[in-house]
Amino acid sequence: MTFRSGFVSIVGRPNVGKSTLLNALVGEKIAIVSDKPQTTRHLIRGVMHEESGQIVLLDTPGLHKPKTLLGERLNDLVVGSLSEVDLVGICVPANEEIGSGDKFIAAQVAGANKSVCLIITKTDSSTGAQIAQRIEQGIALGKEAGIDWKFVVPLSSFDKTNLKELTSELINCLPEGPALYPDGHLTDEPERILVAEFIREAALQDMREELPHSVAVTVEEMNLREDRENMKPLMDVFADIHVERDSQKAIVIGKGGAQLRAIGTQARLRIEKLLGMRVHLTLHVRVTPNWQSDAKNLGKLGF
């Protein structure tokens, strides 16, 4: 049997289901998910192991019209990733009209001179008529951008409709070659980055509209607690939640610290599942003024 392997970049507007799709394909939660814009801020690699091939998926930030230096850097990250992959999958949701943002993305991808496929997401929350219309619009989008789609697949990450079909199509588009990662390896993302992302995901829940863009998380320390003979391992995690204003800090902390405790509880459960051990999580909220547009602060926060 011919074995194929390679890299596939998943691109699209914010909130079109890219991270949810990555998690569904890999079978584990690797990328954080929320309904807030700019949820994904890093290139997250997820590895799929199939009998006929290995697919390394790159979940990317949503391409958008940037209003801050952070937004510019996220867009640059996406465009730069296109040169590293064998195939690009453009995601458009079935329940939304294809618009100017999708056309902008298609033009960017067309300029990279890569093989491209169209992935129509969220069919579980769409009607048959919407799905048919989106396929028709998608074909027109490709013609307008000068893209010859390798294939077009409508799917749902929630009810798994057509995920196997997508997997098969992706593998068929990859070059022949050996596996790029060891069997069972799901991501090459450092644990500290994943831990910080899980904390940010918990912080984004129930946040007011003005807050999500302003929240960043850094993990300052992760230490396996010593002197625990005959006891289960315990990881001490110390992390900072960064916001831009004192008023935002008050919102994150909440009355009597209730909001921060809720964030800590949600994040700890996710981190414990990731690490496979008990976790003691200590969170502090810090004001880092205007960090989204300050080059020095962006560097400190890992952007």
Q: Could you report the per-residue pLDDT of 51-69, keeping only the tens digit for each? A: 999 999 988 777 767 777 8
Strand partners, 121: 93
Joined tokens for residue 102: 């999708």
Helices 246-253 and 258-275: crossing angle in degrees, nearest 10, is: 70
- 135 and 105 inside one domain: yes
Angstrom distance (rounded) from CA 121 to CA 92: 6
CATH code, domain carrying 242: 3.30.300.20
Residues of the chain with pLDDT under 70: 31-42, 64, 206-212
The count of structural domains within the chain is 2
Q: Are residues 229 and 273 in the same domain?
A: yes
Verify that 163 and 35 share a domain, yes or no. Answer: yes
Rounded CA gap, 203 and 206, in Å? 8
Establish if 178 belongs to a structural domain. no
Query: What confidence score (pLDDT) does residue 37 get?
Result: 53
Using CB atoms within 10 Å of the CB of residue 208, give its burial: 0 to 12 exposed, 13 to 18 middle, 19+ buried.
exposed
34 and 157 both lie in a single domain:
yes
Q: Which residues of 70-86 are buried (b: 16+ CB within 10 A; e: fewer)?
A: bbebbbebbbebbeebb
